[in-house]
Chains A and B, each alone.
Chain A
Amino acid sequence: MPKAANRVYFDSSSTTKINDEVLATYKELLTNYYVNSESLYSEGTEIYRMLERSRAAAASLLGVEPSEIIYTSGSSEANSSAVKGVSFACPGKKHIITTQIEHSSLLNACRQMENIFGYDVTYLPVDRYGTVKAEDVLRNLRDDTVLVSVMHVNNETGAVNPIAEIAEIVKKKSHAYFHTDMTQSVGKIPISLRNVDLASMSAHKIEGLKGSGILIRKTHVPFVPLINGGEQEFGLRGGTSNAPVNIVFAKTLRLALENREKYHDHIASLSDHLKEELTKIPGIEMNTPEAAMDGIVNFSYENIPSEVMQNALNQAGFMVSARSTCESHSNNPSYVLTAMGYSDRRASSSIRVSLSRFNTAEETDRFILALKEIIAHYG
């Protein structure tokens, strides 16, 4: 394994280093609060109370009711549950609208609905800036549309979809429910749940624990649980509650929202600088659109395929991704870049740098130097 010293972590959209405060609280909970939160003895009810207080704290940070937060194992579960849970709860409606650039957890859930359950799914295209057009949603709404799901920020390019506009259209022009995957946007840009019926969030993208996330489901949305069990999570997700993990979610979210404002400028200036320097290198094409969220910089150098470039950067001490990390073991071109209209060659040579508050200007400068050397050597 490469030595940790001097290694540069440029993969924060994939996952993040755990926040010290979150870790300390988690350790404390794990050690001292091990009994089942559903147990009726005092120790159990104390954990139950902490869990519910934490749920209320998270709810108030998000401006929803506590009963509208369902703890999940992360965004993949939240996404899959949103698609299936709502669709199965509304029999008779067999049409789903989503986009070509969603995370695999959402796309594959939709494909299942299509292939196994006979649903009709519309996969909306994106423009060359990687964003979905609100009028495309409007055009494709049908009487039997049960769900519209459009991600807030794309994980590969950082492109920001106009979800406020889309949510309003879905609310006003149809009886469908609107879900959005906010995994990449929460803690990075301002979020609003106005007109949003369901939303997915993940803890480990915001310096929290892996295997932790939430599905926000507003009270009026019909929902069938995918995991059956007891009355945990209002009967919407069975299984003994992972209390210590769920309890620290509120703290994770609070710190992420507090840190967002504090570190936004730092991250923005790093990514601006990086983009500026990258575009100066001949042959480098910027895949991240201009209006994207700060912190994600996706580019291609067509002469060097993603995997080779990643290996070379790894040797030079940089941890980066190509496409979505959840797709990292496939050799196909990035479907997100393909959807944006880029060639297979460009979509097979993309590199995603994703920054956090811990990165420095010195690191981005070193990255540019290393990249130039790699291009000179292998390009």
Chain B
Amino acid sequence: MVKYDTVLIRYGELTTKGKNRKDFIRQLERNIRHILEDIDGLVYERTYDRMYIRLNGADSETVGERLKKVFGISSFSFTEKVASDIETISQTCLRIAAESGKNTFKIIARRHDKTFPLVSDQINRAAASVILKNTDLRVDVHQPELPIYIEVHREYTYITSDKIRGAGGYPTGINGRVLLLLSGGIDSPVAAYELMKRGLRVEAVHFAAPPYTSDNARQKVIDLAGMVSEYQGSMRVHVINFTNLQLKIYEKAGDSYAITIMRRMMFRIAEAVARRENCLAIATGESIGQVASQTLESMSVINDVVRIPVIRPLVCADKIEIIDLARKIGTYETSILPYEDCCTIFDPKNPVTKPTLKRCEEIEEKFEYQPYIEECITGEEIVIAEPKKEREDYL
């Protein structure tokens, strides 16, 4: 492993200009600092189109793993900051090549400072000849195992050997806040990821029905929130005790409409929580046609109870695509743990797939649900879910 002293960060979708651009960069830096806050010695430096983090001995691998999860970064590289003279540049390239354990290399120089006495191609040749003379590495201009990038600036030169793809997207938080219905299944954590990727800060609302649902089920949701919160730092989870309302729904709605009415109630509660928390929209992991409550007819009558926008990032995604993403962000294994949740526990045998608004309203007229909704909202418990940074003692 080659040791580097600096990380060079390239910004993501910077199509925005002016003040927006400043906000983008400022938020990105805030997010990066937050995710690296427990690592000592880091020094941040921001330029117009780049950010540099001096590692000062911090473990570059740890920093790299964390940075991969920060939205707003298009790519980053580990680099070595050296004085802009050709001798130092060549020697640093040599060290990197010698430590790499690779067989072939290519030097790709870029001269930002046009007063530098050598042109890019001359820099390429100078550095390459030192490596060729002192190591067994060969040049391969087409598919080098070790590309070495040299960026010459006026005072300093950055020498980097790898470009690591970032998570892309917008810095989380720059586009406002959204409240996500988080169930513990495969889809909603993936939805959280997609929302964060668009620069939204995600809060979650989770509906628990103890004792029908267990501590395990609840903890699973907190764990999932913690995992996906790696992309934004931490996540507030509003845990709603839904038991009384749910029992009432099953009493009044009957088998076929129970899920539809339940979803309508959840949306009402979510809207109220969202407005109180200054979230501009609610979001779900729904995908068209996946289950009875996710047919277009169902979505339509469920959506009917709220005025707030509802974002469904996965609405057109295939289950396979969603599972692939869940695996990528590391939530899949936890999501498939077999604990009962609110949606599975009373699992009706014949849920309606084409509910009508009229029928929903008739059922809801049968009981005073507003006090139950109030009870849910006032009785909520807020849990801050955080990513596991430190390895737990026993591992």
Contacts and interface: CB of A to CB of B under 8 A. Distances in A.
Interface in B212-230: 214-216, 219
Determine which residue in B391, B392, B394, B395 has the highest number of CB atoms from chain A within 10 A of its CB, and name it. Answer: B394
Contacts of B391: 57
A257 to B, nearest CB: 13
Contacts of A45: 214-216, 219
| Chain B interface main SS type | loop
B75 to A, nearest CB: 25
Contacts of B37: none
B394 A247 contact: yes
A304 B273 CA distance: 84
A56 B333 contact: yes
B393 interface: yes
Given A49-B219, A56-B333, A66-B333, A250 B395 contact: yes
Interface in B150-175: none
| Chain A interface main SS type | helix
Contacts of A250: 395
A254 B215 contact: no
A222 B219 CA distance: 32
Nearest to B223: A49
Contact of B394 (A29, A40, A48): A29
A50 interface: yes
A24 to B, nearest CB: 9
Interface residues of A, number: 20
B395 A57 contact: yes
Contacts of A153: none
Contacts of A50: 392, 394
Nearest to B336: A67
A250 B395 CA distance: 6
A325 interface: no
B392 A53 contact: yes
A254 B393 CA distance: 13
A53 B393 CA distance: 12
Interface in A45-64: 45, 48-50, 53-54, 56-57
A25 interface: yes
Given A45-B215, A49-B219, A54 B333 contact: no
Contacts of B333: 56, 65-66
Given A54-B394, A250-B395, A254-B395, 17 more contacts: A25-B393, A25-B394, A28-B393, A42-B215, A45-B214, A45-B215, A45-B216, A48-B216, A50-B392, A50-B394, A53-B392, A53-B395, A56-B333, A57-B395, A66-B333, A247-B394, A251-B395
Interface of B: 214-216, 219, 333, 391-395
- Identify the 6 closest CB pairs spanning chains A and B, nearest first: A57-B395, A45-B216, A25-B394, A250-B395, A42-B215, A247-B394
Interface of A: 25, 28-29, 40, 42, 45, 48-50, 53-54, 56-57, 65-66, 247-248, 250-251, 254
14 contacts: A28-B393, A28-B394, A29-B394, A42-B215, A45-B215, A49-B219, A53-B395, A54-B394, A54-B395, A56-B333, A57-B391, A57-B395, A250-B395, A251-B395
